[in-house]
Amino acid sequence: MKRIFSVSMIAFIVLILTSLLLGCAELNQARVEQKYGPPAKKSTTDDKTIYSYYFSGRRQMCVDFHFDKDGRLVNKKGYYDERCTQIDPWLHRLSGGEPARINITGKWQDSDEGNTYFGWGGGHLPQEGNKVSGAIGNYNVNGVVSGKTVYLVFSTGGIVYYKARLEIFQDLLTGNYFNASDKEQTQEYPMSLAKTVQPTK
């Protein structure tokens, strides 16, 4: 009886593994795109194509899908690293929008410097093309500029805490920020950063 049970258990495990492997083998570029949408990043070599996806959460996760030259999935790799924070899905969806019509490169400071309970602090936001990177206070900042609208993500230690949608008015970036967990952005909070004018020598 014990032997029959063992054989049945082995057969069941083999069946499950075979199903999983076949399921993996059936995945291809078209089905991955159908399931997850366009990749955040796509790289191609002579014999391989890699789709990179960046999934939001309390911590950002990267997943790379490796396809052979016929578009069949040959490998899938998930991992955590700095790229997951830098290329947030929310930003990537906007990067194909309008070309940047403004450049926010410069030093910025929380416009409410007297706010001791919660203040963003100050820092530098370099912009290259429509991409923004830098730091404000204790946060690393990455973002995109679409037209005259600025979209920023604030992270530290590889964890995204806030997202912001701002517009520029003279030397003021003003708009709203949202908690990272607020996926639909239903609860907004006001935010303003003032450009720091460097004293002339």
- Say if residues 167 and 146 touch (Cβ distance below 8 Å): no
- Architecture of the domain spanning 89-195: Beta Barrel (2.40)
- Residue 89 phi/psi, 5-degree rounding, is -55, -40
Rounded-to-integer distance, Cα 8 and Cα 59, Å = 41
Asked whether the domain spanning 89-195 has the same topology as the one spanning 2-86, the reply is no
Please give the pLDDT value at position 108. Answer: 94
26 DSSP assignment: H
| Residue type (1 letter), 120 | W
pLDDT category at 126 given cuts 50, 70, 90 is very high
23 DSSP assignment: H
Element (H, E) at 33: helix 29-36
What is the number of other CB atoms lying within 10 angstroms of the CB of residue 111?
A: 17
- Please provide the average confidence, as pLDDT, over all residues in the chain: 75
Please give the pLDDT value at position 84. Answer: 54
**Three-class secondary structure of residue 92 per DSSP:** helix
Domain residue ranges in the chain:
2-86, 89-195
Identify the CATH number of the domain defined by range 2-86: 3.30.1450
Please give the pLDDT value at position 164. Answer: 92
pLDDT category at 166 given cuts 50, 70, 90 is very high
**Cβ contacts of residue 164 below 8 Å, gap of 6+?**
150, 151, 152, 153, 154, 175, 176, 177, 178, 191
Query: Is residue 21 scored above 60 in pLDDT?
Result: no
**Span 62-101, pLDDT tens digits:** 788 888 888 888 888 877 655 555 456 667 666 556 888 9
Name the residue among 176, 200, 198 with its Cα closest to residue 109.
198
Beta strands in the chain (DSSP E): 41-44, 48-55, 61-68, 73-79, 106-110, 122-125, 127-128, 131-136, 139-146, 149-156, 159-169, 172-179, 189-195
**Cβ contacts of residue 6 below 8 Å, gap of 6+?**
none
100 DSSP assignment: B
Q: DSSP labels for 144-179?
A: EEEBTEEEEEEEETTEEEEEEEEEEETTEEEEEEEE
Please give the pLDDT value at position 52. Answer: 75
| Residue type (1 letter), 50 | I
